[in-house]
Structure 1
Amino acid sequence: DKLQDHIREIFAQLGIQTTNSSNFLERSHRVMKPEYVDQSKPRDVMICCSSYKLKEQVIKASRLTKLKDPHSDIRIFPDISYHTRIKRKSFANYTKILHQKNIRYVWRYPCKIIVS
């Protein structure tokens, strides 16, 4: 399937080899867009890795590696619950200031910001 081939290419750019394994993903699919979102933009893709270890490798590698064309505009995020996303949005003013001042920070589950 084409989607799985694209995911395999992205993983390869991240330094994660999946060529020996045909079952590196449990599932992958494109996510439906809400009507208010610009329909001309590509849809998100949800993937479920075959193991927690692989998922953590992908997340870590995506933070350390800049993807090259044609995948350079792809961003990788862990899936978090609706309630956690809403709670994190309440920090938007703070994270905006951190971005503007180029101050690095990381999220800790469920809703803490660690500034470095």
Structure 2
Amino acid sequence: MEPVDPHEAPDYYNVVKEPMGEETSLLNFDYFENVVTACLFLSDLNCIGKNVTDKKYKNLTEFIRDMIKVFDNCRYYNPRESQFYKCAEILEQFFVSKLKNIRDKFCEQYMEV
């Protein structure tokens, strides 16, 4: 799929403000693969969210296990230099920092003498 030739449709780019270019064409497999990867990642997170809402986790360890699995799967599937691999790294660091905050608050509240 080629971008619209301005010689064939001179006013096209005046009318259409966000044209499909090579970088966004659905026939561009890199773009398509990125969309699929993002959907899979979000689908996994949605499953975890549903499990939380439906109270399917018996304990925090089960929830943490599933979250770590999502990050691990993302890193396993995607090349190290990809934006998805890097995103998994950043989100996991954020997740771990939030868990540490929860642990610290719990310890402060229940371990005080």
Q: Give the TM-score, by structure 2 length.
A: 0.26
More helix by share: 2
* Bigger relative contact order, structure 1 or 2 (CA pairs below 8 A, ≥6 apart): 1
Q: Give the TM-score, by structure 1 length.
A: 0.25
Structure number with larger C-alpha Rg: 2
